[in-house]
């Protein structure tokens, strides 16, 4: 179902103690609903935090997500963490296809197809990231690139499976750079993504799909970004590491 979502992606930040404390603050914020009504809040924590944070959560509108999962179910894959293991911690969701995974760890679409299948098999919700690099935008290939990422990574799914996917549009040139897509650029791409989903799965499914924006979203620009009709929320990196900033972004999402 289409939802208002604000998901934090902590990336490789926060010691165990710091992460547990930040999650406690977010849980309290969600609990007392200080202006964040109607927003599903997600915390994308490092693997080691998942079990403790999931255990401590008291609110149904808050869920924990992993930032990656293995392509295989179990076995001799040193250093990997399976979707089953993630689900067994109480985490409900996994972020897949983040541009940092694609570019630093060579995650191609065939790899992502396997990860998506594992996540669905373990009953995890998926936040699937797509987005173009600067050269692709400058060459006006951004629509083509994003459509290809969606097609190759997700469009083997049945409509029932696709219902467990949230899409995050993250222009790579805006991630951690302080340079955000303009609200108009975000809306244009989100509307395009919805049209691509409609072409494949039909308008009803497209209308039910949540599409998040990610890339230097902060308390100063969240309001303008979230005011767009096809922007259902945000995938927040840097600004999710400070409770006060994250709360402002949740409030901005709740407003529209
Ligand atoms: O997953 C989050 C995105 O990569 C955005 O990160 P950022 O908000 O630090 O730019």
CB 237 within 8 A of CB 9: yes
What total number of domains does the chain contain?
1
Is this prediction's ipTM beyond 0.90? Answer: yes
Judge whether 10 is annotated as a binding position. Answer: yes
CB 124 within 8 A of CB 94: yes
- Interatomic CA distance for residues 30 and 190, integer angstroms: 27
CA 199 from chain centre, in angstroms, equals 22
The answer, yes or no, to whether any atom of ligand 1 lies below 6 A from the CB of 189, is: no
CB 117 within 8 A of CB 73: no
Query: pLDDT confidence of 175, banded at 50, 70, 90?
Result: confident
**Per-residue pLDDT for 179 more than 90?**
no
Amino acid 2: pLDDT: 96
Q: What is the pLDDT of residues 149-159, one digit of tens each?
A: 999 999 999 99
- What percent of the chain has a predicted confidence (pLDDT) above 90? 94
Q: What is the CATH number of the domain that holds 155?
A: 3.20.20.70
> Where in the sequence numbering do the catalytic residues fall?
98, 170
Amino acid 178: pLDDT: 81
Q: Mean pLDDT across the chain, nearest whole number?
A: 96
Provide the domain limits for residue 187: 4-255
Phi, psi of 234 (to 5 degrees): -140, 150
The answer, yes or no, to whether any atom of ligand 1 lies below 6 A from the CB of 44, is: no
Judge whether 215 is annotated as a binding position. Answer: no
Q: Tell which atom from ligand 1 comes closest to the C-alpha of 11.
A: 1
Amino acid 84: pLDDT: 98
């Amino acid at each position: 179902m289409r939802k208002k979502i604000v998901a934090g992606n902590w990336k490789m930040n926060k010691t165990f103690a710091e992460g547990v404390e930040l999650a406690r603050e977010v849980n309290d914020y969600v609990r007392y609903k200080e202006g964040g009504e109607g927003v599903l809040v997600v915390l994308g924590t490092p693997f080691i935090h998942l079990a403790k944070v999931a255990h401590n959560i008291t609110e149904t509108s808050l869920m924990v997500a992993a930032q990656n999962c293995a392509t295989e179910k179990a076995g001799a894959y040193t250093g990997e963490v399976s979707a089953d293991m993630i689900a067994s911690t109480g985490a409900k969701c996994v972020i897949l296809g983040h541009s940092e995974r694609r570019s630093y760890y060579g995650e191609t679409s065939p790899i992502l197809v396997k990860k998506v299948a594992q996540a669905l098999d373990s009953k995890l919700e998926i936040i699937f990231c797509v987005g173009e690099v600067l050269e692709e935008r400058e060459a006006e290939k951004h629509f083509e690139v994003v459509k290809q990422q969606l097609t190759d990574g997700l469009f083997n799914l049945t409509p029932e499976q696709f219902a467990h996917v949230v899409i995050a549009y993250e222009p790579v040139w805006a991630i951690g750079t302080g340079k955000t897509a303009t609200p108009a650029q975000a809306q244009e791409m989100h509307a395009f993504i919805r049209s691509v989903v409609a072409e494949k799965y039909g308008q009803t499914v497209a209308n039910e799909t949540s599409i998040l924006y990610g890339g230097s979203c902060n308390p100063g620009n969240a309001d303008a970004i979230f005011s767009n009709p096809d922007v259902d929320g945000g995938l927040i990196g840097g600004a999710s590491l400070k409770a006060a900033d994250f709360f402002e972004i949740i409030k901005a999402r709740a407003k529209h």
